[in-house]
Amino acid sequence: MPCRKKVSDSVSFLTPGFFLFFPVVALVWFLLPGSGRRIWLLLASWWFCLCAGVEHLAFLLGATALTYAGARLLDRCPGGRRKIVLAVLLLSVFGTLFVFKYLDFALRLLDRIFAATGLAFSSPGLSLILPVGISFYGFMAAGYLIDVYRRERRAETSFLDLALFLSFFPALLSGPISRAGDLIPQLRRPAPFSWDALRSGSVRFLWGAFKKLVVADRLGILVSTVYAAADDFGRLAVWTAAFAFSIQIYCDFSAYSDMALGCAQAMGLRLTENFRTPYFSRSIGEFWRRWHISLSSWFRDYLYIPMGGSRKGRRRKDWNVLVVFAVSGLWHGAALTFLVWGLVNAFYQIIGGRTLEIRKKLRRRLGLREEAPLTAALQVSLTFLCSTAAWVFFKGGSFTHSLAIFRAMFTGPWLIRPVSAWGLDPAELTAALFAVLLVAAVECLSVRMGSFREKLLSLPRPARWAGILMLLAAVLIFGVYGTGYDPQDFIYFKF
Amino acid sequence: MQISKWREPLYGLLFLLLAGLMIGLLSLLFRPARSDYGAVWGPYLAEPEDSLDYLYLGSSYAYCDVDPVEIYARTGLTGYVLAGPEQTLSQTYWYLREALKTQSPELVMLEGSALGFRQYENYTQVNVGYMPFGFNQLGAVFTASEPELRTGLLFPLYFYHGRWKELTLSDAAAALLPGGIDDLKGFTPVSGICAQIVDGPFEREAQPDTVYAENLSWLERIAQLCRKEGIRLVLVLHPTYSQLPARLRMQIAEDAAALDIAFYDWTGDGALLGITPALHYYDPGHLNQEGAAIFSAWLGDFFTETLALVPRTQTQENAAAWIQVLARRAAAPDAA
C-alpha cells in the first residue's frame, strides 16, 4: 500500500510526476472561469493527496466534512452550547491526531512507566498510519473553528471554499499553516495571471530545490554518518555534524516552504511566509518569531494568549511558555526527544527573559553598544549555538543517543577518523561548503537589502536569465538525487 | 509605446528553449562516452548514408562474434553490428527503426538468443539511454524499459550528474565533440580463453511461455518492419556453449517458419564452422577475437553463397574508406 512507501515516492515537489502535474494544474486554473477553477483546484489537490494513498484522502475528506459541518453548527448555536460544541469539535480534531500520531507513543510510555514501577503492562504495539499533512490541516481546521467560535469570522457556507482551504496541494503536506481569513478570499477572487508572479514563483521554487537537493540532502549524509556512531569520529566531527544539522533542517524545511509558496505564487496566490532568516536572530525569542512562523503564530494566537500570555505575571508567563513549547515539541514528533527539544527552547526563553537586565548590564560593562555589529554578531552566534544544541535532541532519535552525542562533543580525541570518512568525500564537502556559503550570502543580502529573489528578477533580462540558468545548472549537477541516492523525505513531512 | 502581448510568451518560450538546450548539453557532457561493447550509436551515424549492405542486430553475441571488417575483407560486403549488451528484442525493434533512418541495407541479420531473454535484462540504461533522442528512443523508453528506469532514460542527468567529481577535459571532449567512423564497425573484440569450456555446453534457463510469447511478438514486429522496407530478415543462433534449451530452439524454428523468417540454428555447429572450443571461446557465450575472425570469415561465405548477397555499388570515397580500414587493420592487427 502507498502508506507503507515513503511520502517522497508518491507525493513530493521533487518528483517527475509533480513536474507534469503542476504545469497542467496551473494552466487549467488560469483558463477556467468562475468557480470552475476552484473545483478544478480542489480536484487536483485531492488527486495529489490520493497519490499518497486512498486512506490519506479519506482522512482529509473526513476532516473537511467535520470542519465544515462543525463550523456551521457553531455559527447557529446559541450562547452556552457553543463552548461544548467547540470542545467536541476540537476533541475530534485533536483526538484523531492523538490516536494516529501519539497513541503508540503514549502506550509505549505507559509500558516504560509500568515496567519501572514493577507492574505488568504490555502495550499492543500499534502500527497505525500517519495521514499525510494531518498535523498541518488539522491545525488549520482547529484555528478556523476557534475563529468561528470567537465570532472573528462567519462559518463558510461554501463547502468548496472550505475544502480548498484545507486541501490546497502546495500547503497540504508541510504547510504553511494558513488562516482561513487569509487564504479563502484569495481562492474566491484569485489574482489574474501575471508573468511577474510566474517568474517570481518559479525562481522561488528553484531556490528551494537548491537548498533541498544541494545543501540539505548533502549535509544530511554527513549528519547521519557521524550521528550514527558519534563516539567513533571525534569531537570535531560531532560538532561539525551538529552545526551541519542546524543548516540541514533549515535548508530542508525552508526549501519546502519556498517551493510551496513558489507554486502558490505562480498561481497568483499568496501563502503565509514561514521563515525570515531565522539564524540571524539575536535571541531565541526572536528566533521563534522567524522560524516556522505559521506554527509559532498559531500557538501564540490559539494557545499562548488564551492561557494568559504575558498578562498574568512573570511566573504565569514562564509557565505558559513552557506549556507552549512542550506542545510544540510534541507537535514535531511523538517522542521524548521532541518534548525535551521543546522544553530546552522554553528554558532558553525563560532564562533569556529572566536575565535580560543582567545581560544588558554586562554588555554595558564590556562596552558593547546594543546596536553595534560586534554585539549583534555575538548574539547571533550565541543564538545559533543554543539552537544547535537543542537540535541535537531533535535529531538524536532517543534521549540516550542524544546524550551520547553531547558526550562525544565534549570528551575523547578531537579527531578519530579523517574528514573524508565523515560520509562526504572531499569533493562533496567542498560542494557543500560552497553551497552553504551561497545560502548564507543570499540570506545576508536579504537581511540587508530585502528579497534577493526580487533583486535578481529586477536585473536586465540577459543577466537575470544567466543567473537563473546557473542556479538551475547547479541544482542539476550538484543536487543529491538520481540513481544510487536514497531520496530523502522533507524532514517536516514526518510531522 | 505599446508592448506586444506576444513579447512575454515569446521570451518565456525562448527561456525554456535555452534551459532545454543547457540540460541537453549537460546530459551529453555527463554521460560517459561509449565506444565499444555495443550501443555505439555515434560511429554508426557517422557512416555514409545508404552505404551498408547488411546490419547485424542482437545482443553481445552479435558484437563479440561478428567482425564486419573481416567479412568485408572476404566478400566486399559492407556492414555494421548495431547491437547492445543483453539487448532484448523490444529494444532491437526500436534500434532497427532508428538505424533505417540513415541506412537501407539489403539484409538484416538478427542474432536471436534474445528470444530466450527475460522481459527486461540488465543493460536497459545503456541500450536505450544511448539511442539518439527522438520518437524511437521514446518508444523504447515506454515499451522496452523498466518503469523505474524511465526517469533517468528521459532525463540522463538523473543517472550521470554524480560524475561531476570525476569529469576530465578529455571526457568532456569525448562526450561533446562528434566522433568519427569506427574502424571496428560495431565489433568489440575480446581476448582470452575460457577455462570452463572443458565442462562442455550447458543449457540456459528457459523463460516462462508468456515471456517467450512477448519476445516473439517483438520478432514479428521486426519482421513486419523489414518486410515493409523490403529488407531480407535472417534469424540466427550463434555457435555457443551457453545454449538455449533444445525444446525452445525447436519452438523458435517453428515460429520463425510461421512468420516466414529464414532461421539458421548454428548453436551446436561450432566445429563445422572451424571453431575449436578450447581456443576460441572468451566465455561460454562469446567467441574471443580469434574465434570471431573464424566465424566472421565463415559468415562472409554464408552471405555470398547461401544468401547470395552482392556488394552494392559504393562511392569512391566510401570504397576508399573501407580499404583504408583494411589497411589499418593489416598494419595493426592487435587493434581489432
Contact present, B94 and B139 (Cβ < 8 Å): yes
Residue A408: CB atoms within 10 Å: 24
* ipTM given for this complex: 0.86
- Please report the pLDDT score of residue A118 as a whole number: 76
Question: Which of B11, B19, B159 lies nearest to residue A482, judging by beta carbons?
Answer: B159
State how far the Cα of A37 lies from the Cα of A50, in Å rounded to an integer.
20
pLDDT in tens, B284-300: 889 999 999 999 999 99
**Cell output for A188:** 474566491
Q: Does A478 touch chain B (CB under 8 A)?
A: yes
Burial of B230 (0-12, 13-18, 19+ CB in 10 A): exposed
State how far the Cα of A11 lies from the Cα of B124, in Å rounded to an integer.
26
A residues 428-467 near B, CB within 8 Å? Answer: 428, 461, 465
- Please report the pLDDT score of residue A491 as a whole number: 57
Sign of CA dihedral A473, A474, A475, A480: positive
The H-or-E segment that residue B80 falls in is: strand B79-83
Instruction: Please give the positions of A annotated as active site.
Output: 332
From the list B113, B304, B307, the residue with the least C-alpha distance to B215 is: B113
The better pLDDT of the pair B256, B33 is held by: B256
From the list A167, A194, A161, A209, the residue with the least C-alpha distance to A26 is: A194
Instruction: Quote the minimal CA–CA distance from B14 to chain A in Å.
Output: 10
* B307 phi/psi in degrees, rounded to 5: -90, -10
- Please report the pLDDT score of residue A5 as a whole number: 47
Q: Does B23 touch chain A (CB under 8 A)?
A: yes
- Please report the pLDDT score of residue B274 as a whole number: 87
Q: Does B157 touch chain A (CB under 8 A)?
A: yes
Contact present, B71 and B248 (Cβ < 8 Å): no
Among chain A residues, the shortest Cα distance to B157 is held by A476
Contact list, A483 vs chain B (CB under 8 Å): 152, 158-159, 162
Q: Does A16 touch chain B (CB under 8 A)?
A: yes
Among chain A residues, the shortest Cα distance to B5 is held by A195
Cβ–Cβ of B164/A425 closer than 8 Å? no
From the list B57, B281, B152, B23, the residue with the least C-alpha distance to A475 is: B23
Cβ–Cβ of B19/A469 closer than 8 Å? yes
**Cell output for A16:** 517527475
Give the CA-trace dihedral at B245, B247, B253, B257, to 10 degrees: -150
pLDDT in tens, A346-379: 999 999 999 999 999 999 999 989 889 999 999 9
Write the CA distances from B175 to B26, B102, B128, B153, integer angstroms.
10, 22, 17, 17
User: Which one of A199, A477, A480 makes the best mutation probe of the B interface by having the most chain B beta carbons within 10 Å?
Assistant: A477
Q: What value does the mean pLDDT of chain A take?
A: 91
Tallying the residues shown for chain A, one arrives at 495
pLDDT in tens, B158-199: 999 999 999 999 889 888 888 788 899 999 999 988 877 777
pLDDT in tens, A55-87: 999 999 999 999 999 999 999 888 778 999 999
Res. B141: pLDDT tops 80: yes
Q: Give helix A159-167 / helix A54-76 axis angle, nearest 10°.
A: 130
Instruction: Quote the minimal CA–CA distance from A477 to chain B in Å.
Output: 5
Res. B258: pLDDT tops 50: yes
State how far the Cα of B27 lies from the Cα of B156, in Å rounded to an integer.
6
Among chain B residues, the shortest Cα distance to A464 is held by B15
Distance of CA A129 to the CA centre of its chain: 20
Which amino acid is residue A73, in one-letter code? L
Cβ–Cβ of B165/A428 closer than 8 Å? yes
Contact list, B162 vs chain A (CB under 8 Å): 482-485
From the list B235, B54, B33, the residue with the least C-alpha distance to B130 is: B33
State how far the Cα of B206 lies from the Cα of B246, in Å rounded to an integer.
10
Res. B320: pLDDT tops 80: yes
Burial of B104 (0-12, 13-18, 19+ CB in 10 A): middle
Burial of B48 (0-12, 13-18, 19+ CB in 10 A): middle
The answer to whether the predicted template modeling score (pTM) of the entire model surpasses 0.95 is: no
Res. B133: pLDDT tops 90: yes
Q: Give helix A399-410 / helix A235-266 axis angle, nearest 10°.
A: 120
Res. A486: pLDDT tops 80: no
The H-or-E segment that residue A123 falls in is: none
Q: Does B173 touch chain A (CB under 8 A)?
A: no
Contact list, A487 vs chain B (CB under 8 Å): none
pLDDT in tens, B306-319: 999 999 999 999 99
- Please report the pLDDT score of residue A489 as a whole number: 55
Contact present, A216 and A252 (Cβ < 8 Å): yes
- Please report the pLDDT score of residue B33 as a whole number: 87
From the list A97, A335, A308, the residue with the least C-alpha distance to A322 is: A308
Q: DSSP for B264-283?
A: EE-TT-HHHHT--HHHHBSS
Average pLDDT over residues B242-257: 93
The better pLDDT of the pair B138, A106 is held by: B138
The better pLDDT of the pair B63, A111 is held by: B63
- Please report the pLDDT score of residue B2 as a whole number: 63
State how far the Cα of A243 lies from the Cα of A117, in Å rounded to an integer.
39
Contact present, A213 and A481 (Cβ < 8 Å): yes
Among chain B residues, the shortest Cα distance to A199 is held by B12
Among chain B residues, the shortest Cα distance to A195 is held by B8
Cβ–Cβ of B158/A481 closer than 8 Å? yes
pLDDT in tens, A311-344: 988 999 999 999 999 999 999 988 899 999 999 9
Contact present, A172 and A13 (Cβ < 8 Å): no
**Cell output for B62:** 552479435
Which amino acid is residue B74, in one-letter code? R
Res. B332: pLDDT tops 70: yes
Contact list, A427 vs chain B (CB under 8 Å): 164-165
pLDDT in tens, A412-434: 899 999 998 999 999 999 999 99
Residue ranges in chain B assigned as alpha helix (H): 7-30, 41-46, 60-65, 68-75, 89-99, 124-129, 135-143, 150-154, 157-160, 169-176, 209-229, 246-258, 270-273, 277-280, 289-301, 316-331
pLDDT in tens, A435-473: 999 999 999 999 888 889 999 999 999 999 999 999 999
B residues 100-139 near A, CB within 8 Å? Answer: none
Of 3.30.565.10, 3.40.50.720, 3.30.2310.20, 3.40.50.1110, the CATH number of B31-335 is: 3.40.50.1110
